Amino acid sequence: MYTAPTLDFFGQLNLGVALPALAVMFGSMIVLLMGLFVPRERRHSVPIAALSLISAGFIMTLFTFNPPDAEAFGGMYRGDAFANMLNLIVLATAFLAILGSTDYLRMTQINHPEYYTLLLLSTSGAMIMAGANDLLLIFIALELLSIPLYVLAAFRTTDGTPTDEVSSKSQESGIKYFILGAFSSAFFVYGAALVYGATGTTNLNAVAEAVQGLAAAGDFGTAGTLLLLGAALILVGLGFKVAAVPFHMWTPDVYEGSPTPVTAFMSVAAKAGGFASLLRIVAVGLAALAVRPEEAAAWQPAFQLVAILTLVLGNVVALAQNNLKRMLAYSSIAHAGYILMAVAAVGSAPLVEGIGDSAAQSILIYLAAYMFTNLGAFAVVSAVEREDGSGVMLDDLNGLFNTRPWLAVAMAIFMLSLTGIPLTAGFIGKYLVINAAVQAGLIALAVVGVLTSVVSAFYYMRVIVNMFLRSEAEGVALPVVGQPLLVAVYASMAGTLVLGILPTLLTGLVNLVQLV
C-alpha cells in the first residue's frame, strides 16, 4: 500500500543531540560569508561573530548535556555526556585561541577573515569526532578537523616574493603536517577496512556485538587476525594525530613553524578529538577482543608500550630544548603519554569492574586541565613573541618578572600545572590518570608515569628560574600585548587554579559520563 511521505524521518534523525556541532559547522559558513561581504574597515566584527557562535554552541551543549536518547543519525553519532564534555573542552579551546589570535593576526599582517572560518570548521570536526560512533563518521570528522589545520599551519604565507624566514617556516610546517596527516589517515582507513572485513559493520556498537559473538564462540580465527591488525593500524593512524611516540616526528617542527595561536589550538583540539575516537574505538568497539575471556584486552600491551615510549621520549627530549614552542611541543607529546596511560587502563575492563568509565572520566578531566594550562602557556608565548617570530627562546624570558610581573606569575602557574604540582589543575588530572592505571593493575606503567613526571619538573622549572631569578637583557623592547590576549591569559590562569582547588566543579559533570 502506498504511504505518503511524512516528516517523521527528521524526528528519527534526532538532530537535537548533534545540534552544537552542527551549529558550529553551519555557523562557520556565515562567518565565511561575513568575510566576503563585510567592508574592510568593519572586519573586527568577524572574530566577534566567531566568538558569539562558539558561546552559542557552548550553551547548547550545556542544555543537551546528558540527553536520555543520545543516538543521532541512526546510531552514527552519540551526543552523550562524554561527547558533550569534550565539546565543552573543544569550544573553550576555540574561544581562547580566537582571543589570542586577533592581535597576532594584525601584528603579522595575515588578518584574513578566512582564518576564523577554518578555525571554526576544525572545531566542528573535533566536536563531531567526540561523538562519532561509526568508523565512517570518525574518518570524516578526523579529516574535517585536520584539513583546515593544514591550511592554518601554513597561514603565515606572504603573497609577494621574496618570502621571509617566518613565512617559509610556516609553509614548511604546513606541508609536513599535511603529508604526515594524510599518511596517518591512510593508516586509519586501512585499519577501518580490516575491522569492517572482520565484523561486517562500521558501527562501533555493532562491531562490539560481533566481537563478543566471536569471543563467545571461543575462536576468533581469521577474523581475530584482521581485528588485531586493524586495531594496530587504527592506533598508528590516531597515534599520529595525538602525537604519540613513535609517531610524533612532525610535532616539534609543526608546533614551531605554525602561527602561535594555531599551535595553541591544535595542541589541544587535535588531541581531544583523537583521544575521543581512540577511546571510543577501543572501549566500545574492541573491548571484548581478548585471547581468552576474563582476560585483559589483546591490544592492551601495545598501548602500554606506546604510552611508556611517549612518556619517556617526550619528557627526556624536552630537557634539551631552548625554543619555548619546541619545548611545549615535546611537553605536549609527554602529556599524550599520560592520557594514553588511562586509555591502556581501559583494556583491563573484563577484570576490573567500572574501569572503563572511570578511565574515560579521568581522561576528560585531564584534557580539561591540559586545555587551560597549555592554552595559557601558549598565550604567554604569543605575548612575548615579536613580529618577526623571534623572542620565543627560553633565554628571552629572562627577567620577565621585572618587566611584566603578572605575565610571569601566570606563566609560573601554567608551568607548575604542567608539572602536576598540587593546587593546580594539572595535579588533579595526573592523579586521576595514574590512579586509573593503578586500578587497572598496570603498576609498571604508573611508576613510569610518576618518574617521568619528576623529570619533567626540570624543564618546567627552567622557565620559572629564567623569569624570576635572571635579569632581563638591556635595551630590548617588549612587544605590546593586546587586551584580548591578556583576557585569554588570565582566564586560563583562573581556570587552572579553580580546577586545581575545586575539582568538584567539574567532577559533577564528568561523573555522568558512561561509555556505551
Partner 1 sequence: MNFSVPTEAFIVLSMVLFVLGAMGVMLRKNAIIVFMSVEMMLNAANLAFVAFARQWMHLEGQVFVFFVMTVAAAEVAVGLALIVAIFRNRNSTNIDALHQMEG
Nearer to partner 1, 201 or 514 (CB): 201
Helix (H) or strand (E) holding 7, with range, is none
Check if the beta carbon of residue 91 is closer than 8 Å to that of residue 265.
no
Distance between CA atoms of residues 205 and 289, nearest Å: 13
209 belongs to the binding site for partner 1 (CB under 8 A): no
Cα–Cα nearest to 133, from 180, 78, 92, 90: 78
Check if the beta carbon of residue 149 is closer than 8 Å to that of residue 270.
yes
80 belongs to the binding site for partner 1 (CB under 8 A): no
139 belongs to the binding site for partner 1 (CB under 8 A): yes
| Interface characters, 442-481, with partner 1 (x: CB under 8 A) | ----------------------------------------
Residues of span 14-73 touching partner 1 by CB under 8 A: none
323 belongs to the binding site for partner 1 (CB under 8 A): yes
Count of chain residues binding partner 1 (CB under 8 A):
47
Check if the beta carbon of residue 272 is closer than 8 Å to that of residue 166.
no
Nearer to partner 1, 121 or 488 (CB): 121
157: left (phi over 0), alpha (psi -120 to 50) or beta: beta
To partner 1, the closest distance from the beta carbon of 476 in angstroms equals 23
To partner 1, the closest distance from the beta carbon of 513 in angstroms equals 29
- Chain-centroid distance, C-alpha 488: 18
169 belongs to the binding site for partner 1 (CB under 8 A): yes
Q: Given the rule CB under 8 A, which of 192-200, 363-371, 456-464, 497-505 is the region that contacts partner 1?
A: 192-200
What cell was used for 30?
Answer: 556565515
To partner 1, the closest distance from the beta carbon of 393 in angstroms equals 12
Residue 246: cis peptide before it, omega within 30 degrees of 0: yes
For the chain, the residue count is: 516
201 belongs to the binding site for partner 1 (CB under 8 A): yes
205 belongs to the binding site for partner 1 (CB under 8 A): no
To partner 1, the closest distance from the beta carbon of 235 in angstroms equals 15
CA contacts within 13 A on the Cβ side of 190: 12
What cell was used for 471?
Answer: 635579569
176 belongs to the binding site for partner 1 (CB under 8 A): yes
172 belongs to the binding site for partner 1 (CB under 8 A): yes
110 belongs to the binding site for partner 1 (CB under 8 A): no
Strand partners, 323: 393
Distance between CA atoms of residues 205 and 182, nearest Å: 27
To partner 1, the closest distance from the beta carbon of 176 in angstroms equals 7
To partner 1, the closest distance from the beta carbon of 201 in angstroms equals 7
Check if the beta carbon of residue 38 is closer than 8 Å to that of residue 46.
yes
Contacts of 378 (CB under 8 A, 6+ apart): 100, 260, 261, 263, 264, 267, 328
Nearer to partner 1, 41 or 159 (CB): 159
What cell was used for 52?
Answer: 558569539
Residues of span 291-320 touching partner 1 by CB under 8 A: 320
Can you tell me which of 58, 95, 115, 178 binds partner 1, judged by CB under 8 A? 178
Backbone angles phi and psi of 294, in degrees to 5: 60, 30
CA contacts within 13 A on the Cβ side of 474: 0
Helix (H) or strand (E) holding 78, with range, is strand 77-78
435 belongs to the binding site for partner 1 (CB under 8 A): no
Can you tell me which of 28, 61, 64, 171 binds partner 1, judged by CB under 8 A? 171
383 belongs to the binding site for partner 1 (CB under 8 A): no
Q: Given the rule CB under 8 A, which of 158-166, 336-344, 431-439, 483-491 is the region that contacts partner 1?
A: 158-166
Per-residue DSSP letters for 296-328? Answer: --TTHHHHHHHHHHHHHHHHHHHTT--BHHHHH
194 belongs to the binding site for partner 1 (CB under 8 A): yes
Cα–Cα nearest to 28, from 144, 177, 151: 144
Distance between CA atoms of residues 269 and 89, nearest Å: 8
Can you tell me which of 35, 65, 143, 455 binds partner 1, judged by CB under 8 A? 143
To partner 1, the closest distance from the beta carbon of 175 in angstroms equals 5
Indicate the DSSP class of residue 14: T
Can you tell me which of 57, 125, 239, 257 binds partner 1, judged by CB under 8 A? 257
What cell was used for 496?
Answer: 587552572
Nearer to partner 1, 240 or 338 (CB): 240
Can you tell me which of 15, 30, 32, 193 binds partner 1, judged by CB under 8 A? 193
To partner 1, the closest distance from the beta carbon of 154 in angstroms equals 6
Q: Which residues bind partner 1 (CB under 8 A)?
A: 135-136, 139-140, 143, 147, 150-151, 154, 157, 161, 163, 165, 167-169, 171-176, 178-179, 182-183, 185-187, 189-190, 192-194, 196-197, 200-202, 252-253, 256-257, 320-321, 323, 326
